[in-house]
């Protein structure tokens, strides 16, 4: 049954249609897998297994001719706990909100359910989704199924860990600084940060151009399948773009595309195994017929961090600080540090200075993508962070260099600043510690299809393992 739990969504749908597999059989396999591995991985914050089996039986009848199967009919989909579901707990990973119940459902979850997806579980996050690892006082420690000594990343860490361990077929995530791409990289999965407004979100964070909700999966085709379900305008989101831009079914044609390859985006520290794996992605694309050229990118990680923390200090940080005013003793040290660091950055530099810096950062990316169809670079400078470490009182060292802030290990936040650029993380290989590494495929503004074509080409030429030995 564990083989079924790792079946891709597109394969499962084909088997459903030919009646070679029942949605009940798939759901049962996923539940049995969760019962076997969850005590060690802890990726699921909440489970609805009995209800999911009931829905799987209804899906089975649709494939037997008693209905019309919808795009995700019968697939187990884990949704990020941050995305509320009416009538269910809405804790945001915090003890301070442990008793809160949502009165509305996130548009992404609405669309998953309307398409026949079965939400059998919700996935863990760090408190308030404000960290690049996944542990909290509410849910405890989520571990990476490839190596339990490491974190699956954050903030969509539970989603990545669930996909890798076979406890979900598809998953939803959100990304304000790398929160889809970092967990995807650390868990050997595929994660997509759509361009701003492509997928609807909820107020007030739908108005923050750093914020994106998006799909996570084990294959590029599965990621495209889920993206095509959640994309498009929504009446509750004024920035959601119309018309919906759907990805093509056939993916992988990169012949003649001009692709820029940056080993480090300028001056990010990159571990040797990450560098070698990213180079392998560039070589795979050249083998697939693309024109790949190594480029120098004149960015500095200190500038990106400064711009990001000014931005966080204006929107995200004050939310955490507001909770801390009445619930400080219940919050994690990393959430308190995030609020303090971001508010200090805003007070020191001012919001206008942050916007001016963001403009200069995007000018570098915009110039590059005016000359190339896409850019590839590492997702992070190191494969994964140790499980349980929060870097409040310690520093992170990457490639022998101690970083000023642990988030400097991430090459993702650049593209939250350049938020209209679509970015797809694909696995690039394994590091020496047995944890996957990832590469980002960055497209021109709102050119979603090209990054998926490139991702599918990488997957074809450089196939990745999708199942850890857990």
* Ranges of each domain in the chain: 2-461
| pLDDT digits 0-9 by tens, 93-140 | 999 999 999 999 999 999 999 999 999 999 999 999 999 999 999 999
Would the pTM of this model clear 0.95, i.e. be above it?
A: yes
Contact predicate 144/387, CB 8 Å: yes
The pLDDT assigned to 469 comes to 84
| pLDDT digits 0-9 by tens, 347-394 | 999 999 999 999 999 999 999 999 999 999 999 999 999 999 999 999
CA 219 vs CA 99, 250, 320, 467: distances in Å: 36, 14, 35, 12
Nearest to 437 by CA among 309, 279, 292: 279
Contact predicate 247/199, CB 8 Å: no
The pLDDT assigned to 466 comes to 77
Find the mean pLDDT for residues 296-325. 95
CA dihedral 148, 150, 156, 161 (to 10 degrees): -20
CA pair distance 168, 77, nearest whole angstrom: 6
Please, which residues have CB within 8 angstroms of residue 192's CB and are 6 or more apart in sequence? 180, 214, 215, 216, 223, 227, 422, 423, 424, 425, 451
The pLDDT assigned to 464 comes to 85
DSSP annotation string for 121-138: EEE--SGGG-SSS-EETT
- In 18-72, which ranges are continuous DSSP H helix? 23-41, 49-61
| pLDDT digits 0-9 by tens, 216-273 | 999 999 999 999 999 999 999 999 999 999 999 999 999 999 999 999 999 999 999 9
3-state SS, residue 291: strand
CA pair distance 311, 359, nearest whole angstrom: 13
Find the mean pLDDT for residues 4-33. 98
Q: In the Cβ-directed half-sphere of 286, how many Cα atoms lie within 13 Å?
A: 11
CA pair distance 164, 158, nearest whole angstrom: 10
| pLDDT digits 0-9 by tens, 324-334 | 999 999 999 99
CA pair distance 265, 92, nearest whole angstrom: 33
The yes-or-no verdict on residue 453 having pLDDT over 60 is yes
Return the active site residues: 80, 155, 179
Length of the chain equals 470
Query: In this structure, what DSSP letter does residue 314 have?
Result: H
CA pair distance 367, 8, nearest whole angstrom: 37
- 465 pLDDT band, cuts 50/70/90, is confident
Phi first, then psi: what are they for 426, rounded to 5°? -125, 150
Phi first, then psi: what are they for 406, rounded to 5°? -60, -30
| pLDDT digits 0-9 by tens, 425-437 | 999 999 999 999 9
User: Which of 464 and 448 is assigned the larger pLDDT?
Assistant: 448
Computed over every residue of the chain, the mean pLDDT equals 97
Nearest to 436 by CA among 384, 359, 396, 393: 384
The yes-or-no verdict on residue 1 having pLDDT over 70 is no
CA pair distance 150, 164, nearest whole angstrom: 14
Find the mean pLDDT for residues 391-413. 98
The yes-or-no verdict on residue 2 having pLDDT over 90 is no
Q: How many CB atoms lie within 10 A of CB 18?
A: 9
Nearest to 31 by CA among 159, 169, 167: 167
The pLDDT assigned to 67 comes to 76
The fraction of the chain above a pLDDT of 90, given in percent, is: 97
Strand 170-175 relative to strand 190-193: parallel, antiparallel, unpaired?
Answer: unpaired
Q: How many CB atoms lie within 10 A of CB 405?
A: 16
The pLDDT assigned to 143 comes to 98
CA pair distance 366, 299, nearest whole angstrom: 12
| pLDDT digits 0-9 by tens, 44-76 | 999 999 999 999 999 999 999 877 899 999 999
Contact predicate 420/442, CB 8 Å: no
DSSP annotation string for 383-395: S-PBTT---SSS-
Residue 262: asked if its preceding bond is cis (omega within 30°), the reply is no
Q: CATH assignment of 2-461?
A: 3.90.1300.10
Find the mean pLDDT for residues 196-216. 97
């Amino acid at each position: 049954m564990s083989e079924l739990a790792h079946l891709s969504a597109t394969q499962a749908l084909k088997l459903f249609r030919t009646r070679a597999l029942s949605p009940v059989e798939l759901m049962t396999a996923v539940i049995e897998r969760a019962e076997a591995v969850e005590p060690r991985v802890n990726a699921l914050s909440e489970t609805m297994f009995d209800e999911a089996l009931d829905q799987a039986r209804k899906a089975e009848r649709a494939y037997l001719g008693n209905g019309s199967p919808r795009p995700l009919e019968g697939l187990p989909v884990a949704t990020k706990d941050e995305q509320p579901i009416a009538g269910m707990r809405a804790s945001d990973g915090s003890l301070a909100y442990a008793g809160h119940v949502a009165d509305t459902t996130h548009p992404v979850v609405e669309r998953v359910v309307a398409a026949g997806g079965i939400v059998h579980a919700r996935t863990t996050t760090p408190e308030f989704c404000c960290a690049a690892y996944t542990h909290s006082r509410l849910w405890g420690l989520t571990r990476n199924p490839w190596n339990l000594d490491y974190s699956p990343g954050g903030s969509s860490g539970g989603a990545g860990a669930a996909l890798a361990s076979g406890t979900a077929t598809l998953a939803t995530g959100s990304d304000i600084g790398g929160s889809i791409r970092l967990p995807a990289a650390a868990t050997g999965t595929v994660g997509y940060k759509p361009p701003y407004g492509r997928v609807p979100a909820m107020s007030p964070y739908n108005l923050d151009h750093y914020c994106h909700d998006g799909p996570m999966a084990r294959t590029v085709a599965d990621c495209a399948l889920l993206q095509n379900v959640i994309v498009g305008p929504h009446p509750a989101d004024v920035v959601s773009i119309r018309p919906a831009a759907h990805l093509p079914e056939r993916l992988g044609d990169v012949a003649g595309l001009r692709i820029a390859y940056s080993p480090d985006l300028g001056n990010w520290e990159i571990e040797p195994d990450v560098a070698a794996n990213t180079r392998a992605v560039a070589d795979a694309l050249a083998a697939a017929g693309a024109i790949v050229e190594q480029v120098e990118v004149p960015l500095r990680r200190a500038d990106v961090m400064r711009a990001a923390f000014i931005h966080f200090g204006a929107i995200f940080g004050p939310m955490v600080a507001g909770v801390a005013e009445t619930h400080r003793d219940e919050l994690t040290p990393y959430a308190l540090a995030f609020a303090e660091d971001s508010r200090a950055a805003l007070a020191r530099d001012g919001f206008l200075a942050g916007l001016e810096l963001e403009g200069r950062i995007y000018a570098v990316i915009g110039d590059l993508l005016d000359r190339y169809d896409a850019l590839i670079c590492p997702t992070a400078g190191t494969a994964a962070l140790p499980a349980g470490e929060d870097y409040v009182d310690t520093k992170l060292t990457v490639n022998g260099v101690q970083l000023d802030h642990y988030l400097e290990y991430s090459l993702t936040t650049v593209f939250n600043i350049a938020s209209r650029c679509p970015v797809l993380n694909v696995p690039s290989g394994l590091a020496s510690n047995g944890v996957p590494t990832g590469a980002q495929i960055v497209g021109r503004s709102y050119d979603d299809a090209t990054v998926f074509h490139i991702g599918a080409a990488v997957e074809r030429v450089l196939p990745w393992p999708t199942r850890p030995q857990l």
